[in-house]
Amino acid sequence: MKADKKLLVRALRGETLARPPFWFMRQAGRCLPEFREVRAKAGGFLNLCYNPELAAEVTLQPIRRFGMDASIVFADILLIPDGLGQELEYVADKGPVLEPIRNLSDLSKLSLDGLHKRASPVYETVSRVKAALPENVTLIGFAGAPWTVACYMVEGGGSRDHATVKHWAYEDPDSFAKLIDMLVVATVEYLKKQVEAGAEVLQLFDTWASTLNEPAFVRWCLEPVQKIVTELRKFFPDIPIIGFPKGAGAGYVKFAKSAGVNGVSLDWSIPLEWARDEVQSLVTVQGNLDPRLVVVGGRAMELETYRILETLGQGPLIFNLGHGIVPETPLKNVGRLAEILRG
């Protein structure tokens, strides 16, 4: 089936569909016993990301089990800094740990030269998944947006307040811009290779967009995504792109108007009627069920699912969660949600 006939691509072209397509962020993840088995076999998270055979397998697992309309390649947003030469490891019960980049001297140690060699297993994973997917399922490639990736690179891992990265961005924006500019170039190169390998849709995750005031949101979230989209369109004019500036609030409107994306993913804090009137009138919307409701399941999950479908289903919609599935999510609840969405 040609990409432009697939439900997800049609939705991103602006079609209102009788059954909106659906997929779930982190659908290939720890709530699946088969995923946990493969991850244990890989011997670590990064090992799994860089093993095309195993990464393709876990990418396909949720499609076999739940029949989503899209598959997102199994990888991680921090593979770009890893490919630039920043030291990265994943520590049990702590998450990613990176050697922090705090100034231009630190930044000078990084290079784009080794990016494609380090990321080549990801491109092979994309190719493997594309060859194995059912013909009606869309393959999504992705990357972290520059601001969010920079947050991890500067903080050296996760952070509650992102104080260090915000201090650098506010105090010396000219030097901080050099890090963002490097990430823009790296992200374009990384996503180009994913499209060449078979990705049919791209998504940019900006998980920490909520941490910035409005001028900083425009400079460090919106404008870098604009640049990435503009560059990608030079090579792939028709590739549909979804942006996810999580927690952007009213900034979702400016993002939808100016980023150049086909779709905007919404977090669960966004009022549905406002999203319909202010965002969906501009682009396709994706979202926005609270992942915690999928843990709870039952009537609470079902009522909110139907409310989203009723409110946003009269326009171009991709049903998704407001962020990723959490590990403790019962499989029966995911199955029930998929059953509702398949109709």
Half-sphere exposure at residue 29, Cβ-oriented, CA atoms within 13 angstroms = 16
Q: How many residues does the chain have?
A: 343
Higher per-residue pLDDT: 1 or 43:
43
User: Catalytic: 152?
Assistant: yes
Judged on CB neighbours under 10 Å (0-12, 13-18, 19+), 145 is: buried
pLDDT over threshold 80, residue 96: yes
**Distance from C-alpha of 98 to C-alpha of 157, rounded to nearest angstrom:** 6
Judge whether 204 and 141 are in contact, CB under 8 Å. Answer: no
User: Catalytic: 26?
Assistant: yes
**Could you tell me the CA-to-CA distances from 68 to 38, 133, 135 in Å, in that order?**
21, 11, 12
Confidence of residue 1 (pLDDT cuts 50, 70, 90): confident
User: Catalytic: 30?
Assistant: yes
pLDDT over threshold 80, residue 26: yes
Taking only the tens place, the pLDDT of each residue in 207-236 is 999 999 999 999 999 999 999 999 999 999
**Could you tell me the CA-to-CA distances from 236 to 62, 200, 228 in Å, in that order?**
28, 10, 12
User: Catalytic: 306?
Assistant: no
Q: Please identify which of the residues 39, 82, 252, 267 carries the catalytic annotation.
A: 39
Q: Please identify which of the residues 69, 82, 123, 152 carries the catalytic annotation.
A: 152
pLDDT over threshold 90, residue 286: yes
Q: Which domains does the chain have, with CATH numbers?
A: 3-342 (3.20.20.210)
Taking only the tens place, the pLDDT of each residue in 247-284 is 999 999 999 999 999 999 999 999 999 999 999 999 99
H helix or E strand, kind and range, residue 109: none
List 157's β-bridge partners, or say none: 97
Confidence of residue 93 (pLDDT cuts 50, 70, 90): confident
Q: Please identify which of the residues 10, 50, 69, 76 carries the catalytic annotation.
A: 76
Q: Which of 71, 240, 54, 235 is nearest to 140 (CA)?
A: 71
Confidence of residue 92 (pLDDT cuts 50, 70, 90): confident
**Distance from C-alpha of 267 to C-alpha of 287, rounded to nearest angstrom:** 7
Q: Which residue has the tokens 């994913």?
A: 194
The percent of residues in the chain predicted with pLDDT above 70, rounded, is: 100
Taking only the tens place, the pLDDT of each residue in 50-74 is 999 999 999 999 999 999 999 999 9
User: Catalytic: 65?
Assistant: no
**Distance from C-alpha of 197 to C-alpha of 26, rounded to nearest angstrom:** 21
